[in-house]
């Protein structure tokens, strides 16, 4: 029995090594996999057979083997069976994405809805319906969803799936994961953290160095990616850019503070009540002066908060996401100007400000991506049949 | 030859393993060292003999061996031979500390001097004299100084030993390490970073969890310690708390920005020109109202900047060091009040604000401690005689 446990642990570790290698460098022949991992060819062949059975890997055509020049059959990740569900509750929409193991987006749903006018029960009920629908559609595509992750606009206790406080939703201490009660494992995380990971896995990747990803919605959050990993802080609450103090005696904020960035650059500060970001874009495109000035004010406030963030966090690059992605042409200039004016004297390197490649999808993609990471790190736990 | 190189590399690694074990858990018997490291007793005995020869370890009296109950001779770190020199150039003083391998402080010098009125050449010349004097005194104590580290109040390029900009000294692009030209290896680092490490190694250690250490002098800096390691940012310039924007239209700062924390809570904002921190303490102790109000204003501004820092960095604890250590009774209350008012609504955990245990010595101790860490991580490079 102890032997069986040890054998299973070793097999679990080896499956993860092979799948991780396929993820990072596939397609690869079995010979190349053996060479890269240090496992024997026999072991690799058996592990690859298991991964193919599980629908996580698939053989492709013959490739030339770099080392020996003989053609061999290559193996690569398969997106045909295993998938992940990314969910998001934000202030004015619900969203869901199904992503397969190759990180290809397979299903997309976004429901505009004002969640501030509903109770957590109602909102979570609507999300459950959305998620159930997505699971059904995924099954129709032959996909088996390994797990879900949910993005929320506030600090989250990931161990219990509880959001401590989402001031823009008016939520406090809501046990979201329990209430959602989906028929698969669900983790809950902060929207801005997942958006930064979405940018890392589905957008700019590691090409930006260490980056601070800014998620602008009704609220504003940020996630810092250092060396390809998210910097979470001691309690997972780092990156609350929206509550950086821009002006200490400024207007009251829902967080209990005053003069927070959100009050100057959040969606509510940019748009008249009831208006949508699309309306603002139309006005901006037609050269509407008040619209441009609103963006300039928001960009300047963002630049002040980012100056502070750069002084504390020192990233290589700042990525503007969420609503700041479509508004980039109008907000990035004033933000960069503030950064250069305030930082240029003291630092050789003022971070570049670039636009997100995934925009408003970042958090939902990051959520799904987190499930994909879990499968790749521990494929044995997601094999379809019990192993003993 | 290749064999000799490999043997040396293995010996270097093993010496580091044994010395590191003595540092973390000594005194230990050779048997316990063998058990903890997985090395054979013969290898351990030979390595211990080398460390004793090098003056890095020493035998103490017999201790009871936990495992077997037989008494054995224990070995522990020795502070008798190897030492480290910590140096600091700050705006109004020069400082030096000699610390031995056990992190016991052996020599202390602080020279009050207004470095703003001198050129970098003059300041560095004075520091060289101070350092030379310390090296002589250390030799008199039988100590061999393995290296030096120098703390500077500004962002530093550690690879070249150049300070990019120290606005409070009026320095730009000064190649400090080259100019100092000491007869031993010198690394240069940011004062606030080294002060945080000083608190970690000589003060509160890891008992505070992840902590943000605030160094208040003329300038204000901070260092974030996460999991016992310094968070440096992409270019080593993280933690510039003094240039966090407290009020965007506030007074101009030497950094090129406006309304930076330094302008509200730095030493120049707290003291009339020419006054010293001792004068302020005397006035505070006698209940002088303007002095108390100056501290309250500084504390409130500090609280705003720390609110922002907590929102971005999420530490367990905030440690007030530098001038904020003696001023703690007068500045910490207003700072904590601002933190609670602005953070309490959104976070379960508002970081405790505690006083530094090492105060103004933190940076110089952190500098010396960094050299000690280097010796412990690679003792072979610091053995007195060539090894081949």
Range with lowest mean pLDDT among A243-257, A288-302, B288-302? A243-257
- H-type alpha helices, chain B: 2-25, 30-37, 41-53, 120-140, 176-180, 191-202, 262-265, 267-270, 277-285, 289-313, 328-343, 362-377
Judge: B256–A342 Cβ closer than 8 Å, yes or no.
yes
Mutation for A interface: B335, B345, B346, most A CBs within 10 A = B346
Structural domains of chain A, with CATH: 2-77 (1.10.10.10), 82-196+363-382 (3.30.420.40), 204-357 (3.30.420.40)
Q: Closest by alpha carbon to B156, among A308, A316, A348?
A: A348
The answer to whether the CB atoms of A307 and B245 lie below 8 A apart is: yes
| Residue B66, pLDDT above cutoff 60 | no
Contact B215, B363 (CB under 8 A): yes
Q: How far apart are alpha carbons B110 and B130 in whole angstroms?
A: 9
Q: What is the pLDDT of residue B7?
A: 82
What is the mean predicted confidence (pLDDT) over A334-349? 88
B304, B309, B316 member nearest A312 (Cβ)? B309
**In this predicted model, what pLDDT tens digit does every residue of A244-273 receive, in sequence order?**
999 999 999 988 889 999 999 999 899 988
Contacts of B311 in chain A (CB under 8 A): 240-241, 243-244
Helix or strand or coil: residue B67? coil
pTM given for the model: 0.88
What ipTM does this complex have?
A: 0.87
Cα distance between residue A373 and residue A379, in whole Å: 10
Nearest CA to CA, how far is A126 from chain B (Å)? 25
CB contact under 8 A, B346 and A313: no
Query: Å from B255 to nearest chain A CA?
Result: 6
Confidence of residue A67 (pLDDT cuts 50, 70, 90): low
- Contact (CB, 8 A) for B168 and B153: yes
Angle between helices B191-202 and B362-377 (to 10 degrees): 70
Instruction: Please say if the pLDDT value at position B69 is more than 70.
Output: no
Query: Between chains, do A209 and B234 touch, taking CB under 8 Å as contact?
Result: yes
CB contact under 8 A, B256 and A209: no
Nearest chain A residue to B350 by CA: give it. Answer: A235
State whether B237 and A314 contact (CB < 8 Å): yes
Query: Residue A184: is it exposed, middle or buried by C-beta count within 10 angstroms (0-12/13-18/19+)?
Result: middle
Which residues from chain B sit within 8 angstroms of residue A348, using beta carbons?
A: 164, 235
* CB atoms A245 and B312 under 8 Å: no
Say which residue, A1 or B188, is predicted with more confidence: B188
Cβ neighbours of A222 in B, within 8 Å:
312
User: What are the strands of the beta sheet with B144-152, ordered from one edge?
Assistant: B105-112, B93-100, B82-89, B144-152, B186-190
Among A240, A256, A342, select the one facing B345 at the smallest CB separation. A256
**Other residues' Cβ atoms within 10 Å of the Cβ of residue B298:** 26
* Phi and psi, residue A365, nearest 5°: -65, -40
The pLDDT of residue A64: 60
CA distance A339 to chain B (A): 9
């Amino acid at each position: 029995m102890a032997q069986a446990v040890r054998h299973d642990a070793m097999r679990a570790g080896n499956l993860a090594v092979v799948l991780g290698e396929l993820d990072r460098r596939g397609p690869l022949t079995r010979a190349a996999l053996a060479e890269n991992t240090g496992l024997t060819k026999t072991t690799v062949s058996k592990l690859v057979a298991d991964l193919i059975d599980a629908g996580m890997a698939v053989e492709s055509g013959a490739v030339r083997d770099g080392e020996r020049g003989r053609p061999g059959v290559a193996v690569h990740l398969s997106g045909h069976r295993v998938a992940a569900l990314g969910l998001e509750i934000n202030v004015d929409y619900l969203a869901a994405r199904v992503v397969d193991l190759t990180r290809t987006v397979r299903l997309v749903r976004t429901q505009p809805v004002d969640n501030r006018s509903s109770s957590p029960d109602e909102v979570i009920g609507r999300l459950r319906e959305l998620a159930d629908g997505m699971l059904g559609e995924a099954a129709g595509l032959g996909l088996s969803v390994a797990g879900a992750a949910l993005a929320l606009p506030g600090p989250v206790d990931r161990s219990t799936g509880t959001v401590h406080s989402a001031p823009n939703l008016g939520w406090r201490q809501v046990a979201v994961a329990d209430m959602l009660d989906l028929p698969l494992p669900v983790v809950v995380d902060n929207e801005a953290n997942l958006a930064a990971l979405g940018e890392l896995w589905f957008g700019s990747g590691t090409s930006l160095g260490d980056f601070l990803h800014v998620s602008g919605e009704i609220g504003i959050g940020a996630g810092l990616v250092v060396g390809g990993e998210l910097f979470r802080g001691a309690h997972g609450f780092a990156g609350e850019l929206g509550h950086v103090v821009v002006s200490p005696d400024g207007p009251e904020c829902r967080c209990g503070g005053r003069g927070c960035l959100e009050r100057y650059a959040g969606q509510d500060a940019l748009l008249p009540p009831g208006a949508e970001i699309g309306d603002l874009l139309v006005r901006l495109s037609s050269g509407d002066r008040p619209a441009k000035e609103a963006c300039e004010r928001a960009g300047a406030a963002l630049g002040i908060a980012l100056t502070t963030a750069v002084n504390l966090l020192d990233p290589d690059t700042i990525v503007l996401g969420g609503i700041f992605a479509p508004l980039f042409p109008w907000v990035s200039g004033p933000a960069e100007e503030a950064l250069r004016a305030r930082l240029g004297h003291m630092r050789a390197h003022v971070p570049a400000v670039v636009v997100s490649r995934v925009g408003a999808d970042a958090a939902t993609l990051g959520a799904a991506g987190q499930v994909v990471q879990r499968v790749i790190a521990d494929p044995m736990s997601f094999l379809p049949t019990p192993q003993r």
